[in-house]
Each structure stands twice: as structure tokens, then as C-alpha cells.
């Protein structure tokens, strides 16, 4: 049985707005069920362990998909989610790949989290796929390869676009823009139309642009480890 580690944010504050953030349900649920239904064993972790915060915006009516509806009825998965492992307690051994769902939370915690950075580097250096969708490519901000270069340098990548961030009116709230950061780190950034399915694959690195791209990232990931 293949095993994938999902890493979720523990951050719930949307800057200084007084509003809440966290992870985006669709970006967790769609990849989770896609892999789960193909008999992949999934372990959940977060920086603080326990229940990761859900972005309230991902619970609105217009954000619902078949995967989120299934999640809301799935008590077993909700219980599993409530008891994520502490990130510091896991390593790459025993896993075939790592996946990061987005939501705005990762911009604040996972992008700067030393355990997360070390974990991604370890997976990559052990020839295991690393994947992230939407805002989660933020986690590659400080990740480097064996030669000390930024991991995304010279690699095809994507992530939440500046225009998508503008559309949700959070450009001035977030600590940095995913598109700009990936370009600054030397990534060969590309994007599709706003809100359309768009992914990039470059060796072990798999990225998706937005919530709509989350299941496609899981498809590519499964093909890599099968």
C-alpha cells in the first residue's frame, strides 16, 4: 500500500483583519478522496498537531463540491482530521510522497516552519515527490536543494495567481504573493486562466494553481508513486 503524508496549516488569523483563515476544504478533501479511493494510506500532520483550522470561506455554499459534501458527511475523516500529528514528530521514512493543501494559512506558518522546510528537503533528497496546490506552494519559499539553490529555481511551477488574489481582495493582507515569490526564487512560473484547472510537473515537484486544480495534482502524484 502506498503512503502519502498530508501537511495542513495550523494558522487561523487572516493578517490583522480580525477574520479567520486556515486550510481550504476542497483542496484537502478532493485529493484525499481521490487517493483514498485508490487504496492510498494517508497520514495527516500540522505544525501544532490536533485540529487544523478550516478557512470559513471554504465552507460557503458557492465553494462546495462533491468532495466537500462528502467530507461534511464523513465523521471518520473529521475525527482523523481533529487529531493530526505534530509536524516535528514525522519524517519521510515510511512515506512515498508529501502533499500540501492550500488556503491562506500556509502563507503565515508553513512557509516559515523549519520542520516543514526540512521535511520537504528530506522527501526531495530521498527521491520522493513533493506536491502543493493553490496557496500551498508558499511552503517552498525557503526550501533548497542539495546544492544550496532554491528548490523551485529553474523548475516549472504554478500557484495561486496575483489576479486570483486580487479577485478575493486579499493582495494587501497576505504576507507575500505566491506568484511573485515563486518567480523571485527562480521558478519557471506559468498559469492558466483564473480559476481554471492548471498544474505543473517538473520531476519530483508537482504544483497546482487553485482549488479547481487540487484533484489533478493528486492524479499526477498517484501516477508518480504507482
Q: Give me the active site residues, please.
A: 134-135, 165
What's the grid cell of residue 193?
Answer: 486562466
Provide φ and ψ at 14, rounded to 5°. -85, 75
97-100 and 156-157: which strand pairing? unpaired
CA atoms within 13 A on the CB side of 208: 29
> What gap in Å lies between CA 198 and CA 89, rounded to an integer?
33
> What gap in Å lies between CA 152 and CA 54, rounded to an integer?
28
What's the grid cell of residue 154?
Answer: 529553474
> What gap in Å lies between CA 159 and CA 68, rounded to an integer?
21
Instruction: Tally Cβ neighbours within 10 Å of residue 137.
Output: 31
What's the grid cell of residue 170?
Answer: 486579499
DSSP state at residue 170: -
> Could you report how far apart the first and last alpha carbons of the chain are, in Å?
10
Amino acid at each position: 500500500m502506498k503512503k502519502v503524508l498530508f501537511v495542513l496549516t495550523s494558522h487561523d488569523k487572516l493578517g490583522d483583519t480580525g477574520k479567520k483563515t486556515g486550510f481550504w476544504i476542497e483542496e484537502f478533501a478532493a485529493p484525499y478522496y481521490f487517493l483514498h479511493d485508490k487504496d492510498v494510506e494517508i497520514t495527516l500532520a500540522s505544525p501544532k498537531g490536533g485540529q487544523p483550522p478550516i478557512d470559513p470561506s471554504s465552507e460557503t455554499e458557492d465553494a462546495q463540491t462533491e468532495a466537500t459534501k462528502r467530507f461534511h458527511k464523513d465523521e471518520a475523516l473529521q475525527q482523523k482530521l481533529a487529531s493530526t500529528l505534530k509536524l516535528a514528530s514525522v519524517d519521510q521514512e515510511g512515506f512515498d510522497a508529501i502533499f500540501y493543501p492550500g488556503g491562506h494559512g500556509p502563507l503565515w506558518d508553513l512557509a516559515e516552519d523549519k520542520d516543514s522546510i526540512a521535511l520537504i528537503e528530506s522527501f526531495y533528497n530521498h527521491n520522493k515527490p513533493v506536491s502543493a496546490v493553490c496557496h500551498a506552494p508558499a511552503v517552498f519559499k525557503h526550501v533548497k536543494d542539495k546544492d544550496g539553490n532554491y528548490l523551485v529555481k529553474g523548475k516549472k511551477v504554478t500557484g495561486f495567481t496575483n489576479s486570483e488574489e486580487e479577485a478575493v481582495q486579499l493582495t494587501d493582507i497576505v504576507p507575500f504573493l505566491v506568484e511573485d515569490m515563486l518567480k523571485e526564487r527562480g521558478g519557471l512560473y506559468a498559469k492558466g486562466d483564473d480559476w481554471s484547472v492548471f498544474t505543473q510537473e517538473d520531476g519530483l515537484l508537482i504544483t497546482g494553481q487553485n482549488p479547481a486544480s487540487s484533484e489533478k495534482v493528486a492524479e499526477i502524484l498517484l501516477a508518480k508513486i504507482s
